[in-house]
């Protein structure tokens, strides 16, 4: 028999997974029936499965099978080895997305689930003496660890190297401490105390917390607090520029590590096909034109790169969509552009610039006027219709390859017109609506190829749009409680095309767009939750169902006489009509008052 507390924990875990998770979402929680053990709860479509995890004191396991030193390693193993975790009947239990608990603080020195080994690597490679971070404990889930870059234990006059010192932070009964002594209400209070009053190791080394080693990882649902932190004005004791500027500058400093070969764009025969002579595609990810004259040098070249969502190890994410990021067309590249669109089976083109801005050509028009047709080499393009929305123009184009007996293809051309000449849009709602329409069009076409995105150079606005869409995709797949890392996502797309996301303003705009999207989803979930609560309240009222839909209710029954007030408050007015009429045609069944009704 489960205790009341255990049943409560199971209910809470199920509610979290069912309301905030997706298929494959999972969480691990302490077991109340067996202190020290854990329970792994997994959402599987509309149900939740619970799996016991044993902590023997020497290792973690699933009461048999593989054994692990930490809970995190056990979870990682079964997440990576899909198909190993099964029910007794052989059905596979998929662990896909962790449903992360809310971060205990929005401070940027909190790194969440980073391991001790990774913390040491970060601090020794990128930190300074006194750099510190706080992370979750992997050996004692529920506790935390303060990792600090300190001196090694050597005499003062010796050449002392640095090492990383780890200090366990205990979390019990809502309080934090480092083992005896003062307790604190929050992690922030604890860190502030030891910044002012350094700790001393048993060896006598003083542990100074001089500067935080900030993370860029955030729990998506916590983005509002992170934006608030990044918007803070630095006080006089801190660096004059922090927040968004500091994060973007660190990102810019990593650019030198992403210098991949760009030889094809530098060839003499291809130089004239580049809108800007130094903005060239990486050879590793460039789009190569096919069915071209191989005797003509450079015939397979176009200034364009594939952009895919990639994991940290360099593997492509299996479920992600593919983009092509390219420059705005020039007179001598329009034919190649349409070759690429047709070759890649693209059905959606996204243009984020006007043809002319501030008197300069940003992109040659590569589509015909409405209700007209133009030929671009072997590709014939007809403009079927143009629709003007508030921020963009949507064109329906019909594309045909004249030397192939293939039916014409419909291509949707979205041109965003509200991006200002300088900077970024004043608010992100228009861009989010724009992306929503783009994705609806893409998803409605089975087997559609990559979405082609371009501005003028194909890196600034193009990169901003693609990064926002990638982050939204991650949130949609993994749920609001997933981890996202905006700088790392930008770095990931920069590995595929140089210079993606050009300015601090564009960088900040990505944060604002993701924050607005999450707020919208959160409001929708809250509304759905309130609606479910309302339904549960109404379901407590029990009414006997009618045995005959045509039967007129007994006007003298206690139900009819005593429940009229309830009907008025919770049912459509037509339900009242249904009680008083002999209805011969059944159109709808009201689950609240159990009457078959029609709309008159």
Residue-wise pLDDT for 91-144, tens only, equals 999 998 888 777 888 888 999 888 899 999 989 988 889 999 999 998 888 899
pLDDT reading at 541 higher than 80 = no
Residue 559 and residue 579: Cα distance in Å, rounded? 11
Mean pLDDT of 69-92: 86
Residue 367 and residue 373: Cα distance in Å, rounded? 8
SS (H, E, C) 76-103: HHHHHCCCCCECCCCCECCCCEECCCCC
pLDDT reading at 216 higher than 90 = no
pLDDT reading at 554 higher than 50 = no
Mean pLDDT of 495-519: 95
Share of the chain above pLDDT 70, in %: 82
* CA-based torsion, 369, 371, 372, 373: positive or negative: positive
Residue-wise pLDDT for 407-439, tens only, equals 999 999 999 999 987 789 999 999 999 999 999
CB 342 within 8 A of CB 326: no
| Mean residue pLDDT across the chain | 83
Q: List binding-site positions.
A: 421, 502
Model confidence at 324, in pLDDT bands (50, 70, 90)?
A: very high
* Helix, strand, coil percentages in the chain from 3-state DSSP, rounded to 5: 30, 25, 45
Name the phi and psi angles at 264, rounded to 5.
-60, -40
Per the annotation, the verdict on 455 as an active-site residue is yes
Name the phi and psi angles at 350, rounded to 5.
-115, 120
CB 467 within 8 A of CB 14: no
Least Cα distance to 453 among 178, 442, 445, 226 occurs for 442
Domains of the chain and CATH, by start? 4-98 (3.30.505.10), 102-215 (3.30.505.10), 252-524 (3.90.190.10), 541-600 (no CATH)
Mean pLDDT of 547-553: 41
Mean pLDDT of 474-491: 92
- Decide: helix, strand or coil at residue 535: helix
170 pairs with which residues across the strands?
A: 177
Catalytic residue among 329, 363, 455, 575: 455
Measured from the Cβ of residue 163, the count of other Cβ atoms closer than 10 Å reads 15
Measured from the Cβ of residue 31, the count of other Cβ atoms closer than 10 Å reads 18
What is the per-residue pLDDT for 98? 85
pLDDT reading at 333 higher than 60 = yes
H-only helix segments in 128-217? 187-196
What is the per-residue pLDDT for 546? 44
What is the per-residue pLDDT for 586? 39
What is the per-residue pLDDT for 255? 78
Pairing of strands 322-326, 451-454: parallel
Model confidence at 253, in pLDDT bands (50, 70, 90)?
A: confident
H-only helix segments in 183-318? 187-196, 223-231, 244-253, 263-266, 268-271
Q: List binding-site positions for substrate.
A: 421, 502
Which of 140-154, 182-196, 265-279, 532-546 has the weakest average pLDDT? 532-546
| Residue listed under structure tokens 């003298």 | 556
Complete DSSP assignment for 483-534: EEEHHHHHHHHHTTSTT-S-SHHHHHHHHHHHHHHHHHHHHHHHHHHHHHHH
What is the per-residue pLDDT for 37? 86
Model confidence at 484, in pLDDT bands (50, 70, 90)?
A: very high
Residue 350 and residue 292: Cα distance in Å, rounded? 25
pLDDT reading at 90 higher than 80 = yes
177 pairs with which residues across the strands?
A: 170
């Amino acid at each position: 028999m489960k205790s009341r507390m255990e049943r409560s924990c199971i209910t809470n875990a199920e509610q979290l997974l069912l309301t905030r998770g997706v298929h494959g979402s999972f969480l691990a929680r302490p077991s109340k029936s067996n202190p020290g053990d854990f329970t792994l709860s997994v959402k599987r479509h509309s149900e939740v499965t619970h799996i016991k995890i044993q902590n023997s004191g020497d290792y973690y396991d699933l009461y048999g099978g593989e054994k692990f030193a930490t809970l995190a390693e056990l979870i990682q193993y079964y997440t990576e080895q899909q198909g190993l975790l099964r029910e007794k009947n052989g059905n596979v239990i998929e662990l896909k997305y962790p449903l992360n608990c809310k971060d205990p603080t929005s401070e940027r020195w909190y790194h969440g689930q980073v391991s001790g080994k990774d913390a040491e690597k970060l601090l020794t490679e990128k930190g300074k003496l006194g750099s510190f971070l706080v992370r979750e404990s992997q050996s004692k889930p529920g506790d935390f660890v303060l990792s600090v870059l300190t001196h090694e234990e050597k005499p003062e006059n010796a050449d002392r190297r640095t090492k990383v010192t780890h200090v366990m932070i205990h979390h019990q009964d809502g309080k934090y401490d480092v083992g005896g002594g003062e307790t604190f209400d929050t992690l922030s209070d604890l860190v502030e105390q030891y910044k002012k009053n350094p700790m001393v190791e048993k060896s006598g080394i003083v542990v100074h917390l001089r500067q935080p080693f900030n993370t860029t990882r955030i729990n998506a649902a916590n983005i509002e607090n992170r934006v608030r932190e990044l918007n803070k004005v630095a006080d006089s004791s801190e660096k004059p520029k922090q927040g968004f500027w500091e994060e973007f500058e660190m990102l810019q400093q990593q650019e030198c590590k992403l210098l991949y070969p760009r030889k094809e764009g530098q060839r003499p025969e291809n130089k004239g096909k580049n809108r800007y002579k130094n903005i060239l595609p990486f050879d590793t990810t460039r789009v190569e034109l096919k069915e071209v004259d191989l005797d003509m040098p450079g015939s397979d070249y176009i200034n364009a790169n594939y952009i895919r969502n990639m994991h940290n190890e360099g593997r492509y994410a299996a479920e992600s969509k593919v983009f092509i990021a390219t420059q705005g067309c020039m007179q001598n590249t329009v034919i190649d552009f349409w070759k690429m669109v047709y070759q890649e089976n693209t059905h959606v083109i996204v243009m984020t610039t006007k043809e002319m801005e501030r008197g300069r050509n940003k992109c040659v028009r590569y589509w015909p006027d409405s209700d007209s047709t133009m030929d671009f080499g072997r590709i014939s393009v007809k403009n079927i219709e143009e629709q003007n929305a508030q921020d963009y123009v949507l064109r329906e184009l019909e594309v045909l390859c004249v030397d192939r007996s293939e039916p014409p293809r419909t291509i949707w051309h979205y041109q965003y017109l509200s991006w200002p000449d300088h900077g970024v849009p004043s608010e992100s709602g228009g861009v989010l609506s724009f992306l929503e329409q783009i994705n609806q069009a893409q998803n409605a076409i089975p087997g559609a190829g990559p979405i082609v995105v371009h501005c003028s150079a194909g890196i600034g606005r193009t990169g901003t749009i693609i990064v926002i869409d990638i982050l939204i995709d991650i949130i949609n797949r993994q749920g609001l409680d997933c981890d996202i890392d905006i700088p790392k996502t930008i770095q990931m797309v920069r590995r595929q095309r140089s210079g993606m996301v050009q300015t601090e303003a564009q960088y900040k705009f990505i944060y604002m767009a993701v924050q607005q999207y999450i707020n919208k989803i959160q409001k929708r979930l809250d509304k759905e939750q309130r609606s479910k609560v309302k339904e549960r309240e109404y379901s407590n009222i029990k009414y006997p169902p009618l045995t005959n839909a045509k039967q007129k209710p007994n006007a003298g029954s206690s139900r009819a006489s005593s429940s009229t007030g309830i009907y008025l408050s919770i049912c459509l007015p037509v339900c009242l009509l249904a009680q008083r009429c002999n209805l011969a045609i059944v159109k709808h069944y009201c689950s609240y008052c159990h009457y078959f009704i029609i709309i008159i």
